[in-house]
A and B are shown apart, each in its own frame.
Chain A
Amino acid sequence: MFNTRIRVPPTAKPGEIVEIRTMIMHPMDNGFSYTTQGTLIPQNIITEFSCHYLGEEVILVRLEPGISANPYFTFPLRAEATGTVRFRWMDQHGDITTAEEEMVVE
């Protein structure tokens, strides 16, 4: 599990387009850089990020080694009904980090 930061508006009107912001604190080592001692830092990246809302996958991102540390995604989401917005990050070893936030729609 890595530290994450997420931002989901606590309330929204039905049909409103809200902005979702997410960030995961991850080094995203691309496998091409060296330590000050001269040893290669092995590749270690997040490979997948997704968001689910009302039982549906609303975004799926595949990440490659060229992405910077602490990947930050922001995207619009149409608020339709009250529900939990769930986020999921998977690293190259298959380890999962999750975060979620409730959004009340009325």
Chain B
Amino acid sequence: MNTGRRAFLATLAGGLAAPALLRAGTAAHVIVLGAGFGGATVARLLAGVPELRVTLIERDATIHTCPFSNGVLGGLWPMERIAFDLVALGRAGVRLIRAEATGIDPETRSISLADGTRLTGDVMVLAPGISFDWAAIEGLSPATAEQVPHAWKAGRQTEILREQLVAMEDGGLVVVGIPAPPFRCPPGPYERISLIAHYLKTNKPASKILVLDAQDAFSKQPLFEEAWASLYPGMIERVPGSASGAVMAVDAGTMRISTGFDDVTAAVANIIPPQRAARILTDAGLDDGLGWCPVEPVGFESRVAPGIHILGDAALQGDMPKSAFSANGQARACARAILARLAGHEPQGAKLLNVCYSLTAPDYGFSIADVYEPGPEKVSLVLSEGRTTALGASAETHAAEAEYARSWFDTITSQLYG
């Protein structure tokens, strides 16, 4: 055993669990929960390190990415475009366990699986994503989500919403309900509205979209509104939060959607519930009662439990949005921090990036690019000018941005799953 590894284990274990870890010849065990953009990135980066043994726990055989799932709804591409298996991760040296994780014990850094097995790691990376706060909207539940889909976790839900849009008659009313922040992918609902509008304009032009929004302002709002005015005039109506836009109740039987002011009957309703960190994390107390899990801004290690890193949508890290791009960057920072500890020194913070593309039609895209840095307390946005595509940009610019969006998606998914 080299001194680097001993120092690494000492830092991780904080002394207490050390005897168990000092068995000769065993590589330090890294357990990763969730094979999304955060978990898959960190597993893949650490899989090649000889001093480490990487186990990745994932419930689903096929990952459906939320990025580009709005394109499925808009009919831009089929479900297969957003479906990925984990074979390549296995080939890269990650030990895959396909199971539902049922509980986490932060004290012992162990995780229980549905079949009763218990895995213990020297370091844990948790990236299980979000849970829905069903109780926030009357009448909404996992059962009624079959009729009133959220489609905010891609997969079967995406298919349900797509099938409903395809089955709807021309002239129908599509209601999209958007929760109060924070939620996964801040511009996502507005991209979704745009691509549903694209589908309706092409196939069912007499239909309308009513957006019931708990938010007043939203991400890239001027760019979205410019696109809606030019691409889908008169098709989209939005009621903001200050005009009582927040959805309060849903009747899945009658498709009646109620806010504090309006009651409307929808042909198709896509109601996205408010969100918090995945239930397995809040059950383990890793959210410290906040709904999201506080982490330090360099290696995304939990503020509650040392040796446990929390990445992506579930993390409360500061200013970064809950996006695939962010989770990927956070995973890189986390992997660097784990390797630094392995080499026996303190992790150094590096700048983080988030680039977020939105499509409003197949050849109409725009983006926002932000730089973040780890501050003393949290990850902070480094303010700069010109972070978004300019208003009034040319058709060529929008077409190029749409192309960049497609290449970003193809690149990141092939790095993780290809």
Contact = CB atoms under 8 A, between A and B. Distances in A.
Contacts of B260: 72
B256 to A, nearest CB: 15
Nearest to B242: A70
A69 B241 CA distance: 12
A23 B262 contact: no
Contacts of A72: 244, 260-261
B243 A70 contact: yes
A5 B242 contact: no
Interface residues of A, number: 8
Contacts of A23: 243-244, 261
Contacts of B244: 5, 23, 70, 72
Contacts of A5: 243-244, 261
Interface residues of B, number: 6
Contacts of B262: 7
Contacts, number: 18
Given A5-B261, A21-B261, A69 B243 contact: no
Nearest to A6: B261
B240 to A, nearest CB: 9
Secondary structure type dominating chain A contacts: strand
Interface string A18-61: 00010101000000000000000000000000000000000000
Interface in B222-276: 242-244, 260-262
A48 B91 CA distance: 72
A69 B261 contact: no
B239 to A, nearest CB: 8
A21 B262 CA distance: 9
A21 B415 CA distance: 54
A73 to B, nearest CB: 11
A7 B260 CA distance: 12
A7 B261 contact: yes
B352 to A, nearest CB: 27
B261 A25 contact: no
A25 B244 CA distance: 11
B252 to A, nearest CB: 23
A37 to B, nearest CB: 17
B248 to A, nearest CB: 13
B185 to A, nearest CB: 28
A3 to B, nearest CB: 8
A86 to B, nearest CB: 19
Interface of B: 242-244, 260-262
Interface of A: 5, 7, 21, 23, 25, 69-70, 72
10 closest pairs, A vs B, by CB?
Answer: A70-B242, A21-B261, A5-B243, A23-B261, A5-B261, A23-B243, A25-B243, A72-B244, A70-B243, A23-B244
Given A5-B261, A70-B242, 15 more contacts: A5-B244, A7-B261, A7-B262, A21-B261, A23-B243, A23-B244, A23-B261, A25-B242, A25-B243, A69-B242, A70-B243, A70-B244, A72-B244, A72-B260, A72-B261
